[in-house]
Amino acid sequence: MAPTDAEPSAFEAALQRYGAGAPVAELVEEFAALAEQNPRHSACWTCLAWLQLLNNQPLEGLRSARLAVRLSPQDPQARINLTLAMLETGAKGVREHIEVVQRVLAMAPEMADEINDAITDGLQRKPNWQALQKVKAWLAG
């Protein structure tokens, strides 16, 4: 069997379910289990934080986002999630994380499309997400 024919990993399958519109609450549980099984998987923590924020769980999202940033400090999506969680919980230090994202995007502009797609997706799934609207404005400015 060729590698392209291989079964997707549990993480990839969960991402596909997200893309297909699976309920966020179910995905939170799925990604939480995946993160528990793979505690050093930064992308899993990043996804979990995003889902927790979409699911109105800012304190849980803050914890997951902090872990994601600790595991992968240069990941702009992890930093955006941490910023969102900080805004929603009233934590201080937001500017530092936005500045890191801006520096990463300046050095790797190809990542901007991915970030913009995530922002668009977030605002479609949660249209009145004020924290995400702020982050979008900061990154555009």
Segment 7-24 mean pLDDT:
93
Segment 8-37 mean pLDDT:
95
SS3 13: helix
Tell which residue, 83, 128, 127, 125, has the closest CA to residue 102: 83
Provide the pLDDT for residue 4. Answer: 47
Provide the pLDDT for residue 6. Answer: 60
Q: What is the mean pLDDT of the chain?
A: 93
In single-letter form, the type of residue at position 45 comes to: W
Least confident of 5-14, 49-58, 104-113: 5-14
Segments making up each domain of the chain, as ranges: 9-140
Provide the pLDDT for residue 141. Answer: 79
The pLDDT of residue 1 is above 90: no
- In degrees and rounded to multiples of 5, residue 51 shows phi and psi of -65, -40
pLDDT tens digits, residue range 33-62?
A: 999 999 999 999 999 999 999 999 999 999
Measured between alpha carbons, how far is 21 from 116 in angstroms, rounded to an integer? 19
CATH of domain 9-140: 1.25.40.10
Measured between alpha carbons, how far is 15 from 22 in angstroms, rounded to an integer? 10
For the entire predicted model, the pTM comes to: 0.92
Least confident of 26-40, 60-74, 99-113: 99-113
Share of the chain above pLDDT 70, in %: 95
Measured between alpha carbons, how far is 128 from 83 in angstroms, rounded to an integer? 17
